[in-house]
Amino acid sequence: MKRSFLFPGQGAQYPGMCKDFYDKSETVRDLFLLADKVTGRDLKSLLFEGTAEDLKQTENTQIAVTLMNLSIRRYLIENGVQADGTAGFSLGEFSAMVEAGILTEKQVLPMVIERGEIMARVAKENPALAGGSAMAAVIGMASADVSSNVEDIKDAYAANFNAPTQTVISGTVVGIEAASAKLKEAGARRIIPLKVSGPFHTPLLDDAMKYFVEYISSLEFKDPVKPMYSNVTGKRVGSGVEAKELSGLQIISPVKWIDIESNILSEGFDSIVELGPGKVLTGFWKSASKEISCLPTGSVEVADGIS
């Protein structure tokens, strides 16, 4: 068996997330203690007591989702379940870098807080975003058609290529409203607003990329010890130097998730497990393979069934 761990990003969070893993596993409780120490925050209160609105804020979402992703990773490893390769969707890529040996938990936990705070600050300060930002999932239209329909609309971009007929658009509220109207007219079956607070994976966050690149400039990114696939390229990350460069570019670049899934399949992985809240990546995987299922692990009860 050749197994890949997949880690979700923003949008899958919910109040009370990860409490069952915390209650059952000492190694997960140890991770929460480490997280509090290196971030200076009470993260148990955020995850277990925070409201949906609290968790929606970028500066909270990124650390909450990452902490749950890494908690499930610890829980599975503790129970003898390990992976031969990995990838993460958007923010989830930082959890994947821990799995690939590129970064440590101690590095990643404060890193994603800094990343979230930078992105939130830029989203508030950018004059182009004075009217707000938005993202929406376009359902029932080929990704190439989504891209061609939005390319001439100001401040609207094709941002996440999730599945052959599911693409996320991202930009300003005005841009996404205009893009949504055009896409509906062009034949999109549904357009679903997403629970996010920034125009992620677009050039509107160019300043956030610059600030984040400056923040990570002194940090060491090691060469991967197992295959990890990049959101920016869809391909394997070849070195720590490349991983560091792609970490900055990822903020403004589309997520090539369809390409990642294709490369995972072509390289012989036959067991796919999603580590994190929800079942978003499990849903995406259904369009990638009819023979190999992606198994979610969002609760202890489900995670205990992985072997």
Active site residues: 90, 201
The residue written with tokens 């809240």 in the block is 277
Exposure of 141 by Cβ count < 10 A (0-12 exposed, 13-18 middle, 19+ buried)? buried
Amino acid letter, 235: K
Provide the 10 A C-beta neighbour count for residue 254.
21
Residue 285, token pair as written in the block: 């995987």
Question: Nearest-CA neighbor of 197 among 22, 1, 52?
Answer: 52
Angle at 90 (CA atoms; ends 79, 275), nearest 5 degrees: 15
Nearest-angstrom CA–CA distance, 221 and 109: 14
271-274 and 3-7 as β-strands: parallel, antiparallel, unpaired?
A: parallel
Q: Provide the phi-psi class of 187: left if phi over 0, else alpha when psi is between -120 and 50, else beta.
A: left
